[in-house]
Structures are given as structure tokens and as C-alpha cells.
């Protein structure tokens, strides 16, 4: 029997743990930093971290093996440059496979480089995209693969110009301010809303947000004011404000653009939320792949503290508010608010049972407000201009504006801001300037990866949070428009690949249901399907929707069900030739 | 606070803090479960205990659903049946049984529910084993993760019952698996081999290594452990008058499902050829001679030697012991004698030994193995 022999703890790990305050909540950060130093995490290093943080080794290993950005290796092979190639649906459509081949051959035989696949990087407007160490790269066309080693990063998209029909509130300062300079932000009105809020009673700020009718922009559309009210009414303290910047759903990249254009608008929104609800500490949980946005936020926080808009006694008032940036490490599931809280507490990002909901018992079991980046970004303008003004922006029942992401075979893809109630036809014709030459509309995936796959029959339905009942969902606001070359079966297969890789594995319907759906879709894409496959997919979608543990697992059913109901013939032509013959007879 | 809810049209009165599952069970309503166990904190992950709550969207897991006043719950409907069956169908997709435990007795909880709901695999689908069968060198706990359904009862039993934190969940999604420590062996992960994980496992992925393939018991004998004074109870599984396995008896008043490595796995002494069934004394004591020199212990000679053990009656053995003790006390005094008692004795027997040491022998030199 091999016996464990005593091994002193690695002094470098001891130093690292002390740097993070020896708190078990810091385990993810310690592991991330350790990997940064060493290149890989070995089981023995993970066990050392566990001993120093006084957590069981299985817990630390469970965390290290959960997050996709952490690499476990039997032995350290030293630091390598890491290229993470996005295999999200937009990069798939934009010939990501050719880029992958080109990068693989460009880096072939180079020991100090490593290539990995990764789920959607949130760079859909720069597809095909990659992450080289922490640098966001895109578009990365095959011919650019050889330039990766010399620091090629592609080109970020400029959103400073308005499209016809756009109405900008959250994006009003895009291109006008230097996002890394608070001086620039202040000259364009940053923190004026916070200043005016601090001069009012908290209750009046809360009522303004309630009356504005602002709804949560993460996808569910829950009234923001009502959520704030729950937290404000909670008796226990301290309370926490969390910004969900874990934007990991394929097609969605609005939070990245919002942070890159005006990080102070987010900080201001969070501070107002803190004032209205009685919280004094906030966290921005940002996905690990957004390293440059995390750095931008850290800089903005430091500048805002310097200027007295964050920190202790804001502008000489009795209100204090601190914001910390917490980086994730690669997990779509952490966009689910309770999984995010688990992750923030230094655990595997698995969702919690609800109720209790976070406003009652969230971070550290205390009252917690979790809102999306876009929701916080909408707040300052509401405070400055009033709820009535916000409601007047939209002639549709849902007040205010929304950031939309438009991708695929249109002339002008990208991101824009407009009120609710747009139709898909408007989005394509007016904002996207029509389909590409030679392209005919075939289908669109709306909302996000967990959205609806719709046909031309849905082109004229006004879209908002309620339109899902009419078969077209708004979700987080993405439209992925595909022409006649894209098969709904193949697109659905790409989505299920994502959900299978990103399922946390906690509950049976999502863990096995996604895996089984992918197996079936692989067969259908290869034209090896069977008639009973359609029924099985339907059953799988039913059980995922009705019985999955969390909202993300439940939403996997949405693209499956919509694709099956809108594109049944496409699934039927994906049967194997034997089955097709049998069907004809 | 008392609350009233309706389950399957029956009004049920329960206490606040109870789950719907607990309230249903107290009233004789069966809801199938796998990840739930009454001794462990509920996690609601297997999704077998799905029920419908009126005015709620979708289905809800009963094991994590707090019963509340006025709630109207249905535990049986075609939708619920179909969803539970699909959950079991899904679990079967990754359940690969090599068949070695087929004759080891009653169905596991998992097999029971699979049969009850008629769950099945898609036509032509054969689950592939992903892990070696018997993958851990632990001498007592059998590990076959091909049968694991990730209910995490082992993880919770290890953490909440035994407090060892050996088992955890590693990796993610369909690659998630149960791991010991930093994905090492159980003993490396500081396992005490108490077997709680195997006792709580509903599928046989974790089992008792000494008993895998030992067959079905003819009868169960509930008895008290002989190893120490705690008084744990368990069921001896007896086949052809031989003990083939020890299983926890959930109704055991002292220990419930919990046992230690000795109680659960240390049963080989029962039928061991070396086990003493009658007293034995050295031959030279019977022959009345003095203690012979040590070199005569050598077994090289074929004739009987004075150091041999000879089986005798209790009277003879006790007489010899009494004579030797009396002589020692006369020659060397009371405190030249010490008494060490055993945890295998009853409290009453230990009490008598105390009286024997202090009042009969006249010494305070008495101790007990459980104190060492």
C-alpha cells in the first residue's frame, strides 16, 4: 500500500495564500494566480493550497477541475503561451474551423505554445476569435495565424457612431470619453446621478427606480426596482451588491462593450443601488476571459476612490461604498445568480436551491442584490432624468432602451441600442442594413444560445420579454441571422455542444440530457438519424425544461423546442438513407 | 408553527421546517428518491422526487421543497410519471453494470426504481464503461464508478456522518465524477474505511469489497457489535450459516447507519480457523512442573513439548489461573498483579473485574483497553 509521506508545504504557495488573506473564499484566486506562476496546477500543489486554506483536498481539487481556465497536469511542464480558440456558434459560422487548422499548423511543433478549444469567448463581433493568454484576439482569419506569435490582436469594433433609428442612453458616451480616464468621464457627466441620489432620501431613489419600470437585462426581465425593494426591506446586515458580468452565453457581448466604453457608468449604478438598499460593499463577478475588462474596471475603481466617488464617505456624506472585482475562471453556469454566489464564496459554481432567493440569503447567507451589467448601466440616466422620462423613451409597454447584438449574414452586424418592441424584420432591414448580397433569410437564433430558433414566420412579431410566449424570445438581446446555407439542425448541434460542455453536472436532466441531445444531433448532422430521434429530442427538451435544477438547465429546451416546431422538415431530412427509404415506402 | 397543506387531495398537518417529501412520508405517501437520504442534507440533484405544486411552473423536487401553509401538491400524474421515468432513462445511459453483483441480494434502490418506472435504454444503446471496475485499492470499499449516478450521497455521508471529507465531486458536466481527495486513492485521501459511503450508495458503485459476489443472504441477524462498548447494532447477513456481509440497520438506536471499520468489515474472526472456542493452557502447567527453559520451545522435536497449548475445561483453566494468582499475591504482594479489561466485555463484566481487582486481589492496578 503506498503510504503518504510527509512533505513540507511549498513556500511559494504559502506566500501566495498569505497574500490573499488565507481565506477559503480566495481559493479560486489563489489557484488562478498559482497557475499564472507555474503554468499548470499539480495535484500536490492543489493539496498544499487546501491545507493552507483549511479546506479538504477534495474541495480544492473539485474547484480546480470545475473551471475550464484552470489546467491540471500530473507534472508541471512549465509556462506556455496558451491560445484558446473560440468554438462558439458565431465563430463556427465565420469559418472558425479554418482558423483552427491554420493556427494548429502555424504553431505545430512549438513546445512553448499550447492550443485549446474554449466555449464562446464573448467576442462574437470579432469572430473568429481567440484568447492568447489574456489578450483578446479577433477577427483571426487563417492568414493571420502566423502573426499570433508577434502579438497580432485583430481589431476591436468601434461603436462610437449611431445607426439610423438608434436611441442611445447607456451608450450615449460611447467614443466620447476615454474609458481609462475619470477626468474625461467626469466632464461627460459621470457620477452626477450618484451625486443627486446622495442628496435624496434612499427611499426616494428606490421609488424612482421602481417607477421607471426598469427590468433586469440579463434575460429574465424581472423588475429591477422590486428586487431592490426586497433587499432594502431585508432586516439583516451587511447587505451586498453583486454585478453579474459573467456574460458567457454565446452571442452575448454587450457587457464587454459597456465596460469598454464607460466603466464608470456601471460603478455609478452599483453605488446608487448600494445607497438605495443600504449596502456598503459590492462585487463585480466578471468572467475570467474578460481580463482586460477586469483591469479596466480595477483602474476605474481606483480612480473613482481617488475622486471620492467610491470608498469611505462618498463626497463627504455618511454613505460609504466599496467595489471589488472578482474574476471567474471559465464557467457559463456562474451566470446563474446562485452559482455565481457559490463561486464568489470559493466553491464549485453549482446553483443553490431556491428559495431562499439572494435578496433574503445570498452571498455569505446575507441579503444580496444581483443585477446584470446592463441593468446597472441603465440606472444613472433614470436618476438624472426621472422615471417619467425613462418611460417616455419607449412607445412599447416595456420602458427604456435595450442593447441589442446583431450577428450573422447581415450587411452591418454589431451592437446597437434601441427601445423594445422591434421586429426581427426591423432589426435586419433597418439596423443591419439587410441581408448580405446573395443571402436569403433562412432562420434566426434570437435572445442568445438559450433563445429561440425562428423562421421567417416570426419576422414581424414585436419582441420584448413577453414575446417568448409568441415563440420569439428577447433573452439578453442577441439576433443571430442565418441564410439558406445554415441548417437549423447543424446550428442546434453547435448550441448543444456548448450546453454539454458547460453543464455544471449537478442535476440529471441537464448533465445527461444535454449529452444525449448532442449524441442525437451528431447523428442527425451526419444524416444518420432515425425517426424516433425527433421524439426523443422532444422528450429530453421536456424533462430539461420542467425538471432541471436551475434556469440555465431549463432554458436548454428553448432552442430545441423552437427548432423542432419551426423546422421539423429539416430534422426529417436528416434521417439516414435507409430510414428515408423506409419512410417513402 | 403548525401548517396545513394538501397532498393528493389529502389534508396534511405538519410543522414548519418540514419538506414536502418529509410531510408525504409521514403520511404514508411514497415519493421515489435517489439522492435524498433522511440522514443527509438534501441537495435536490437527481430530480426523481419531482412533484407538481398547483399554480407553480414546471415540476419541483419534493426533497428540497419547504412545505408551506395552503400548498396544494400532487405526487402522481401522467406528467410526473413521464418526467421521473425520463430521469431514470437518462441515468441508465451512463450506468454500466458488469454483472458481478447480480446475485448479491436485494435490488439496489436504483434498480428498484428503474423497474418500478419501466425505465429503459434507447433501442440499440449500450452504455460503455468509462472506468476500471474495482478502481480503488482500499481493502474494504469496492469502487466501480461505472455504476455511479452522481447522487453524492457518499460525499455527504463522508462529510456529514464520518467527518472525513474523503469524497468530493470533481470535473464538470458529463465528465463530473466522484473523486477521493485530489483525485487520488481513498487511503491517500485519509480514508478510515468506515464504509459509510458504501452503506449510503443507492447503486452499488460503492460496495463492500469483502462481500462483492458473496451471494444472497438466507437471513439477517440483528446483533450488537462485539468490538467496543458503544453498542452499535447492525445486521449480519447469513448464508449457509456463515456471515457473508454486515449491513447497517437504519433503526439501530445507538448508531443508525454509522459503523466503524471494525464493526462493518472485521467479521472474518467469526469463522476464522484460529478462533479460540475453548480455554487452552500450557502443557507444563497441567503436568505440575516448573516453567521449563525457553530453549525447549523449539518445535524441532516430534515428542510433546512442555510449551504446547492444550485444550482444557473451564474448571481446569480457572483453577490454574486462580492458583497462580494466589501464589503470586502471597509471594510478591497484591500490587504485583494488574488487570486489563476488554472493550469486548459487557459493562457488567467490566464492573465485576473492577470488584475482582480491588476487593479480591486488593490492587488498584486495573485499566481498560478503550482508554489506551
**Interchain pair A58, B86: CB under 8 A:** no
- Asked if pLDDT for residue B292 goes beyond 90, the answer is no
Alpha carbon A525 to chain centroid, angstroms:
28
Decide if B50 and A547 are in contact by the 8 Å CB cutoff: yes
Instruction: Tell me which residue in A44, A503, A549 faces B44 most closely, judged by beta carbons.
Output: A549
B64:A62 CB<8 A: no
Contact A505 B171 (CB under 8 A): yes
- Specify the pairing of strand A281-286 against strand A322-327: parallel
Interatomic CA distance for residues A206 and B273, integer angstroms: 81
pLDDT for residue B347 is more than 90? no
Question: CA B145, B146, B150: angle at the middle one, nearest 5?
Answer: 60
Residue B296 is given by DSSP the state: G
Q: What gap in Å lies between CA B125 and CA A421, rounded to an integer? A: 46
Stretch B320-333: mean pLDDT, rounded?
95
Q: Is A43 touching B (CB cutoff 8 A)?
A: yes
The span from the CA of B231 to the CA of B248, in Å, is: 13
Query: Could B172 and A355 be called an inter-chain contact, meaning their C-beta atoms sit closer than 8 Å?
Result: no
For A323, A357, A473, B98, B322, the CA distances from A371, given in Å and listed in that order, are 14, 13, 20, 49, 83
Distance CA A321, CA A272 (A): 9
Cβ within 8 Å, pair B170-A58: yes
C-alpha cell at A477: 438581446
Would you call A151 an interface residue with chain B, using a CB distance cutoff of 8 Å? no
pLDDT at A76 (0 to 100): 82
Q: Å from A64 to nearest chain B CA?
A: 8
Grid cell at residue A244? 453579474
Residue A24 contacts B where some CB pair is shorter than 8 Å: no
3-state secondary structure of A478: strand
- Return the sign of the alpha-carbon dihedral for residues A324, A282, A332, A565: negative
pLDDT at residue A1, as a whole number: 44
DSSP string of B64-123, one letter each residue: G-B--TT-EEES--HHHHHHHHHHHHHHHHT----STTTTSSSPPHHHHHHHHHT--PPT
**CA A84 – CA A354 distance, rounded (Å):** 35
> CB of A531 within 8 Å of any CB in chain B?
no
Tell me the chain B residues in contact with residue A547 when contact means C-beta distances shorter than 8 Å: 47, 50, 58-59, 83, 86-87
- Chain A residues in contact with B159 by the CB 8 A cut-off are 56
Whether residue B122 and residue A353 make contact (CB cut-off 8 A), yes or no, is no
**CA angle A352-A517-A372, nearest 5°?**
40
**Alpha-helical regions (H) of A127-199:** 182-187, 192-198
CA distance A58 to B231: 32
Which residue from A65, A67, A27 is spatially nearest to A502, judged by alpha carbons? A67
Which of B215, B207, B218 lies closest to B247, judged by CA?
A: B207
Contact assignment for A61 to B46 by CB distance below 8 Å: no
Residue A502 to residue B171, Cβ atoms within 8 A = no
Encode chain A (585 residues) as per-residue pLDDT tens digits.
445 567 899 999 999 999 999 999 999 999 999 999 999 999 999 999 999 999 999 999 999 999 999 999 988 888 899 999 999 999 999 999 999 999 999 999 898 999 999 999 999 999 999 999 999 999 999 999 999 989 999 999 999 999 999 999 999 999 999 999 999 999 999 999 999 999 999 999 999 999 999 999 998 899 999 999 999 999 999 999 999 999 999 999 999 999 999 999 999 999 999 999 999 999 999 999 999 999 999 999 999 999 999 999 999 999 999 999 999 999 999 999 999 999 999 999 999 999 999 999 999 999 999 999 999 999 999 999 999 999 999 888 899 999 999 999 999 999 999 999 999 999 999 999 999 999 999 999 999 999 999 999 999 999 999 999 999 999 999 999 999 999 999 999 999 999 999 999 999 999 999 999 999 999 999 999 999 999 999 999 999 999 999 999 999 999 999 999 999 999 998 887 777 777 666
Nearest CA in chain A to B52: A546
- The answer to whether A481 and A406 have CB atoms below 8 angstroms apart is yes
Q: pTM, whole model, 2 decimals?
A: 0.94
- Please answer yes or no on whether B185 and A2 come within 8 Å at the CB atom: yes
Mean pLDDT of B300-310: 75
Q: Which of A61, A505, A507 sits opposite B174 (nearest CB)?
A: A505
Cα–Cα distance, A124 to A110 (Å, whole number): 28
Distance of alpha carbon A565 from alpha carbon A555, whole angstroms: 16
Q: Helix A508-525 vs helix A531-547: angle between axes, to the nearest 10 degrees?
A: 160
Between A440-449, B140-149, B175-184, B336-345, the lowest mean confidence (pLDDT) is in B336-345
Check residue A328 and give its pLDDT.
96
- Whether residue A90 contacts residue A408, with contact meaning beta carbons closer than 8 Å, is answered with yes
Q: HEC string of B227-265? A: CCCCCCEEEEEEECCEEEEEEECCCCCCCCCCCCHHHHH
Residue A436 DSSP code: P
Nearest to A404 by CA among A172, A123, A171: A171
pLDDT bucket at B287, cuts 50 / 70 / 90: confident
Q: What is the pLDDT of residue A120?
A: 96
Cβ-defined contact of A547 to B166 (cutoff 8 Å): no
Candidates B157, B173, B178: best to mutate against A (most CBs of A within 10 A) is B173
A511 in contact with B, Cβ within 8 Å? yes
Q: How many CB pairs under 8 A join A and B?
A: 148
How far does B273 lie from chain A, in Å, by closest CA?
26
Amino acid at each position: 500500500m503506498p503510504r503518504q509521506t510527509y512533505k513540507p508545504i511549498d513556500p511559494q504557495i504559502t506566500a501566495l495564500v498569505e497574500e490573499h488573506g488565507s481565506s477559503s473564499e480566495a481559493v479560486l484566486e489563489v489557484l488562478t494566480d498559482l497557475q499564472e506562476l507555474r503554468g499548470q496546477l499539480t495535484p500536490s500543489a492543489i493539496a498544499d493550497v487546501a491545507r493552507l486554506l483549511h479546506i479538504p483536498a477534495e474541495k480544492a481539487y473539485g474547484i480546480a477541475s470545475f473551471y475550464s481556465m484552470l489546467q491540471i497536469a500530473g507534472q508541471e511542464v512549465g509556462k506556455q503561451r496558451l491560445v484558446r480558440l473560440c468554438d462558439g456558434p458565431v465563430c463556427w459560422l465565420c469559418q472558425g474551423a479554418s482558423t483552427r487548422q491554420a493556427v494548429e499548423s502555424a504553431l505545430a511543433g512549438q513546445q512553448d505554445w499550447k492550443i485549446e478549444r474554449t466555449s464562446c469567448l464573448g467576442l462574437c463581433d470579432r469572430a473568429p476569435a481567440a484568447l492568447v493568454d489574456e489578450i483578446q484576439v479577433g477577427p483571426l482569419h487563417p492568414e493571420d495565424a502566423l502573426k499570433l506569435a508577434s502579438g497580432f490582436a485583430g481589431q476591436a469594433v468601434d461603436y462610437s457612431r449611431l445607426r439610423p433609428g438608434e436611441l442611445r442612453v447607456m451608450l450615449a458616451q460611447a467614443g466620447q470619453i476615454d474609458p481609462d480616464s475619470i477626468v474625461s468621464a467626469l466632464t461627460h457627466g459621470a457620477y452626477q446621478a450618484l451625486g443627486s441620489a446622495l442628496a435624496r432620501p434612499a427611499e426616494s431613489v428606490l421609488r424612482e427606480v421602481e417607477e421607471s419600470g426598469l427590468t433586469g437585462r440579463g434575460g429574465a426581465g424581472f423588475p429591477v426596482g422590486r428586487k431592490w425593494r426586497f433587499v432594502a426591506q431585508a432586516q439583516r446586515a451587511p447587505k451586498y451588491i453583486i454585478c453579474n458580468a459573467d456574460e458567457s452565453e454565446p452571442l452575448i457581448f454587450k457587457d464587454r462593450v459597456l465596460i469598454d466604453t464607460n466603466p464608470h457608468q456601471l460603478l455609478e449604478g452599483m453605488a446608487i443601488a448600494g445607497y438605495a438598499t443600504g449596502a456598503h460593499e459590492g462585487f463585480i463577478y466578471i468572467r475570467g476571459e474578460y481580463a482586460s475588462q477586469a483591469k479596466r474596471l480595477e483602474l476605474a475603481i481606483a480612480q473613482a476612490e481617488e475622486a471620492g466617488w467610491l470608498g469611505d464617505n462618498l463626497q463627504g456624506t455618511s454613505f460609504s461604498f466599496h467595489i471589488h472585482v472578482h474574476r471567474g475562471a471559465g464557467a457559463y453556469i456562474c451566470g446563474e445568480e446562485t452559482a455565481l454566489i457559490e463561486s464568489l464564496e470559493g466553491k464549485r459554481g453549482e446553483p443553490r436551491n431556491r428559495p431562499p432567493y439572494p435578496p433574503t440569503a445570498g452571498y455569505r447567507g446575507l441579503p444580496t442584490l444581483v443585477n446584470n451589467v446592463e441593468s446597472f448601466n441603465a440606472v444613472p440616466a433614470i436618476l438624472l432624468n426621472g422615471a417619467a422620462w425613462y418611460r417616455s423613451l419607449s412607445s412599447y409597454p416595456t420602458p427604456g432602451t435595450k442593447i441589442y447584438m446583431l450577428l450573422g449574414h447581415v450587411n452591418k452586424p454589431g451592437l446597437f441600442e434601441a427601445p423594445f418592441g422591434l421586429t426581427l424584420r426591423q432589426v435586419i432591414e433597418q439596423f443591419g442594413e439587410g441581408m448580405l448580397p446573395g443571402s436569403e433569410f433562412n432562420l434566426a437564433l434570437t435572445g442568445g444560445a438559450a433563445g429561440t430558433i425562428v423562421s421567417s414566420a416570426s419576422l414581424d412579431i414585436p419582441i420584448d420579454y413577453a414575446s417568448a410566449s409568441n415563440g420569439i424570445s428577447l433573452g439578453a438581446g442577441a439576433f443571430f441571422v442565418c441564410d439558406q446555407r445554415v441548417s437549423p439542425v447543424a446550428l442546434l448541434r453547435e448550441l448543444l455542444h456548448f450546453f454539454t460542455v458547460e453543464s455544471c453536472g449537478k442535476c440529471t436532466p441537464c448533465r445527461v440530457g444535454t449529452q444525449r441531445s448532442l449524441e442525437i444531433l451528431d447523428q442527425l448532422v451526419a444524416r444518420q438519424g432515425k425517426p424516433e430521434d425527433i421524439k426523443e429530442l422532444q422528450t429530453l427538451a421536456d424533462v430539461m425544461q420542467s425538471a432541471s435544477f436551475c434556469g440555465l438547465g431549463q432554458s436548454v429546451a428553448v432552442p430545441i423546442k423552437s427548432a423542432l416546431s419551426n423546422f421539423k422538415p429539416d430534422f426529417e431530412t436528416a434521417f439516414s438513407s435507409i430510414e428515408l427509404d423506409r419512410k417513402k415506402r | 408553527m403548525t401548517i396545513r397543506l394538501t397532498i393528493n387531495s389529502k389534508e396534511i398537518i405538519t410543522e414548519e421546517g418540514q419538506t414536502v417529501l418529509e410531510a408525504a412520508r409521514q403520511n404514508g405517501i411514497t415519493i421515489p428518491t435517489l439522492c435524498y437520504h433522511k440522514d443527509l442534507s438534501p441537495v435536490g440533484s437527481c430530480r426523481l422526487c419531482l412533484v407538481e405544486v398547483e399554480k407553480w411552473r414546471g415540476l419541483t423536487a419534493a426533497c428540497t421543497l419547504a412545505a408551506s401553509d395552503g400548498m396544494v401538491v400532487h405526487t402522481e400524474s401522467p406528467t410526473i410519471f413521464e418526467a421521473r421515468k425520463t430521469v431514470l432513462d437518462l441515468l441508465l445511459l451512463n450506468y454500466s453494470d458488469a454483472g458481478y453483483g447480480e446475485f448479491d441480494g436485494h435490488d439496489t434502490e436504483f434498480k428498484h426504481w428503474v423497474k418500478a418506472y419501466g425505465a429503459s435504454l434507447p433501442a440499440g444503446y449500450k452504455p460503455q464503461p468509462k472506468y476500471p471496475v474495482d478502481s480503488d485499492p482500499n481493502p474494504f470499499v469496492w469502487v466501480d464508478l461505472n455504476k455511479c449516478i452522481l447522487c453524492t450521497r457518499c460525499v455527504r455521508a463522508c462529510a456529514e456522518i464520518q467527518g472525513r471529507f474523503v469524497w468530493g465531486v470533481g470535473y464538470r458536466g458529463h465528465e463530473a465524477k466522484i473523486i477521493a481527495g485530489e483525485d487520488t486513492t481513498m487511503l491517500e485521501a485519509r480514508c478510515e474505511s468506515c464504509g459509510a459511503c458504501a452503506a449510503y450508495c443507492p447503486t452499488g458503485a460503492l460496495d463492500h469489497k469483502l462481500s462483492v459476489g458473496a451471494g444472497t443472504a438466507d437471513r439477517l441477524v440483528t446483533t450488537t457489535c462485539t468490538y467496543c462498548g458503544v453498542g452499535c447494532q447492525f445486521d449480519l447477513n447469513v448464508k449457509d450459516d456463515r456471515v457473508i456481509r454486515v449491513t447497517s440497520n437504519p433503526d439501530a438506536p445507538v448508531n443508525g447507519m454509522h459503523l466503524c471499520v471494525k464493526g462493518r468489515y472485521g467479521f472474518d474472526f467469526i469463522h476464522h480457523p484460529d478462533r479460540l472456542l475453548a480455554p487452552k493452557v500450557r502443557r507444563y502447567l497441567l503436568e505440575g512442573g516448573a516453567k521449563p527453559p525457553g530453549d525447549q520451545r523449539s518445535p524441532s522435536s516430534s515428542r510433546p513439548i512442555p510449551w504446547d497449548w492444550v485444550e482444557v475445561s473451564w474448571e481446569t483453566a480457572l483453577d490454574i489461573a486462580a492458583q497462580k494468582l494466589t501464589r503470586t499475591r502471597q509471594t510478591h504482594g497484591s500490587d504485583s498483579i494488574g488487570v486489563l479489561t476488554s472493550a469486548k466485555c459487557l459493562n457488567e463484566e467490566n464492573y465485576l473485574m473492577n470488584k475482582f481487582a480491588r476487593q479480591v486481589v486488593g490492587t488498584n492496578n486495573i485499566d481498560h483497553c478503550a482508554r489506551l
